[in-house]
Structure 1
Amino acid sequence: MQAQKVLVEVTEQNKFDYEGYGLGLLLTFGLAFIAGQVAKLPFFSIMGIMIISIILGAIWGNTVSHHPTVNTNLGITFSSKRLLRVGIILLGFRLNLTDILNAGLPILLIDVIVITFTMLFILFLGKLFKTDKQLTTLVAAGTAICGAAAIVAISPIVKGKQEQTAIAVSCIAVLGTVGALLYIFLFPYLPITDTEYGVLVGATLHELAHVVAAGVPSGVIGSDSAILVKLGRVLLLIPVALLISYFINRKNTKQAENIKDLPIPWFIFGFLLMSLINTLQWIPEGGSQFFLLLSTYLLAMGMAGLGLNIRWADFKKVGMKPVGVAVLGFLALLSISPLLIFIYRLF
């Protein structure tokens, strides 16, 4: 009788876990799917599916009541942690390392300058305004490298909380969208060529969606330059993640008993492996496009999961300082635009 009772309890627990994972994953997929449809609309295409997913998640999480007998947190957490990392790994199929190397020294030099300057400047602002170190680092990574994807890649390294990750993504989403609209408006008045405009867009805007949208006025040549420069920044996510991991966790490295305990973002190497596979063309182009589409939706599901964990009180708790740091960091990045154009013209 006792054994039967235990069996029933185990069965009920397994059912609970299944429902938790299943319904949580279904919720994040549903929000990601809706975001994908919204992202096809004219204005919202600037924001992109990932940003819209986190916004929809935040709206749902703060307005819609969850069923009191079903715990969806298991699936939501799985989306915001595991699926995000898988999405970042598959994002490597977007990179063709040969194209970046063929672009030559000026592109890589510009990307290194942008990332180094932006990271150091925002971290300096964080110390100056005494903002949370983890949140500041996430904002710096999102501004300097590749927006939301960089933030979610760096977050586990700095041991960032989900609300910090969500707040950083939200800041980057707004600033990147404003920046893209600003570039589109200023394009006719800028005394630079279409190619130089593309370089500027790719070097200073946050998300790939922002870069693609802002590059449209400059035609095919400008758009291709913008995407190429942006992908160079994405590639540099790997060394930046490793450097951040080293500096933040170097005190704990000696305490690690084996290689698995070392504070290294192993999934970044998966990202690099996928890039190599794509560069060497080991799978057909159709396969690469499939994995990119899968990456997009996995990242969107992860963003929806982050959004579902956002509470408006979290923004009130951190105050306006992190937002100010993000704004000043972006303005500082824009201020070195003449230097970036000068370097490009040198070559």
Structure 2
Amino acid sequence: MGAEKIRELQHIEVQPQNKFDYKGYGIGILLTFSLAILAGLIAKLPLFSIMGIMIISILLGALWNNTLPLPTSINVSLGIQFSSKKLLRAGIILLGFRLNLFQIVDSGVSVILIDILVIAFTIMFILTLGRIFKTNKELTILVAAGTAICGAAAIVAVAPLIKSKQEQTAVAVSCIAVLGTIGALLFIFLYPYLPLTNTEYGLLVGATLHELAHVVAASVPGGELGSETAILVKLGRVLLLIPVALLISFFINRKNEKHERNLKKLPIPWFIFGFLLMSFINTLQLIPDHIINILLLLSIYFLAMGMAGLGLSIKWSDFRKVGFKPIVVAILGFVGLLCLSPILLFLYRLF
């Protein structure tokens, strides 16, 4: 009888673990959704429109996590992690509907060359700075990807490929968010004093700023022509997210696979291929525009919920742990990219 009792108790203890925690997932997802909705409302205000919904979402999440403790009776982290991982990747996939590959090809060789140069230079420069300042390797790669390609979306796309910690991802996104906002304000302030045409101004904005939201906001002074150029150049950088992420994955993980050539064990970022597939579908115009607009809106809010989830994992102590060096690397990397502007203009005028 004693043995039977023990087996019964073991069965009772194991059983609840097999149940799906609806409350944990539901409340966690609801929290990230609420923060995303609030961020969307705040982003419509004139002063905050430059920051964009995704940046505001991660800031709201960080503010919540460091001022209001999450409930301990319910495992809300399940829903928060679902948003910061699954929904974030779904948002990146749907973001592919923003790209029209023909439009980028038709823009000419100069834009494509400029985007390749920007990404190659920025990544190499920031990685070099990381070695000089002896910063964490994974964090440096995330900052490099965010600066070079497309901000937070690039960071969260590269993070699982290099197996970075969630707090490193959150810190990298925060650094890029702040720097991109400052950069956008700087461009808007300097526009009247820059000896550039509206097209050239849009080129520099699209080639140097981090987030698409930053590019859209900063390109407004350049008028319709400046805005179109800026967005086109920026979308070219977004397109290059796919090959760059794959290259990063290969170089980071090749040592781990040195003695194993089994392709099944290589980390394959399927969501990035989903992003490319959506781009092809959009390019071929297989889906009506009104549905594309709905999917893009869904993409924005999935990304915003993911950013809120990342923010809810941020603790101010994480910044103290990484120190000032990664922040200095991020700042110098952005400054270095800005210093590349004369070469970018030369290439654009040459072609």
Deviations 1:272-320 (A, max 9, x none): 0000000001111111111111111111111111100111101001100
SS of 1:70 mapped into structure 2: coil
Displacement of 1:14 in angstroms is 6.2
Distance, in Å, in 2 between the alignment partners of 1:95 and 1:296 is 14
Counterpart amino acid of residue 311 in structure 2: G
Residue of structure 2 in register with 1:324 after alignment: 328
**Which residue of structure 2 aligns with residue 201 of structure 1?**
205
Aligned pair 1:311/2:327, yes or no? no
Shift of 1:45: 1.0
Whole-angstrom distance in 1 between the partners of 2:35 and 2:262: 40
Which among 217, 223, 227 is matched to residue 221 of structure 2? Answer: 217
**Match runs of 1:127-276 below 5 Å:** 127-254=131-258, 258-276=262-280
Equivalent residue, structure 2, for 1:286: 290
Q: Give the one of 112, 115, 119 matched to 2:119.
A: 115
Hey, what's the Cα distance between the residues in 2 that align with 1:287 and 1:5? 54
Q: Letter of the aligned partner of 1:177 in structure 2?
A: T
Task: Classify the secondary structure of the residue corresponding to 1:68.
Answer: coil
Partner deviation per Cα, 1:79-120 (whole Å, 9 max, x = no partner)? 111111111111100100010000010000000010000000
Is this contact kept in 2: 1:16–1:70, CA < 8 A?
Answer: no
Letter of the structure 2 residue corresponding to residue 280 of structure 1: L
Residue of 320, 333, 346 corresponding to 1:342: 346
Structure 1 Cα separation of the partners of residues 255 and 18 of structure 2 = 40
Mapped partners of 2:227, 2:233: distance in 1: 10
Does the C-alpha gap of structure 1 residues 8 and 294 become closer, same or farther in structure 2, counting only changes over 3 Å? farther
In structure 2, the residue matched to 1:56 is 60
Q: Does the residue aligned with 1:46 lie in a helix, a strand or coil?
A: coil
Structure 2 partner of 1:299:
303
Please report how far the alpha carbon of residue 67 of structure 1 lies from its aligned counterpart in structure 2 after TM superposition.
2.1
Give the equivalent residue in structure 2 for 1:125: 129
1:10 positional shift: 7.0
- Identify unmatched segments of 5+ residues in structure 2: none
2:91 is the counterpart of 1:87: yes
SS in 2 for 1:44: coil
* CA distance, structure 2, for counterparts of residue 65 and residue 189 of structure 1: 47
Deviation at 1:257, TM superposition (A): 7.2
Q: 1:289 to 1:11 in 2, by over 3 A?
A: farther
TM-score for the superposition, normalised by structure 1: 0.96
Shift of 1:266: 1.9
Aligned mates of 1:34, 1:303 — CA distance in 2: 13
Distance in 2, matches of 1:214 and 1:19, equals: 42
Cα deviation, residue 261, structure 1 = 2.0
Candidates 32, 37, 40, aligned match of 2:41: 37
> Whole-Å Cα distance in 2 between the matches of residues 341 and 234 of structure 1?
20
Contact 1:80 1:303 in 2 (8 A): yes
**Residue identity matched to 1:80:** S
Provide the rounded CA distance (Å) in 2 between the counterparts of 1:64 and 1:16.
26
- Count of residue pairs the alignment pairs up: 347
**Residue 301 to residue 19, structure 1, CA distance change in 2 (3 Å):** same
Cα distance, 1:255–1:271 mapped onto 2, change above 3 Å: farther
2:196 counterpart SS class: coil
Q: Which amino acid aligns with 1:222?
A: G
Whole-Å separation in 2 of the counterparts to 1:35 and 1:254: 45
* Amino acid aligned to 2:200: E
Structure 1 residue 158: Cα displacement: 1.1
Q: Secondary structure at the match of 1:310?
A: coil
User: Is residue 21 of structure 2 the alignment partner of residue 21 of structure 1?
Assistant: no
User: Are the aligned partners of 1:256 and 1:262 in contact in 2 as well (CA < 8 Å)?
Assistant: no
Structure 1: runs of 5+ lacking an equivalent: none
Secondary structure at 2:219's aligned position in 1?
helix
Distance (Å, rounded) in 1 between the aligned partners of 2:22 and 2:215: 40
Distance (whole Å) between structure 1 residues aligned to residue 262 and residue 285 of structure 2: 35
> Distance between the aligned counterparts of 1:196 and 1:7, measured in 2?
69
Letter in 1 for 2:253: N
Could you state the TM-score of these two structures normalised by the residue count of structure 2?
0.95
1:12 shift after superposition: 4.9
Contact 1:118 1:143 in 2 (8 A): yes
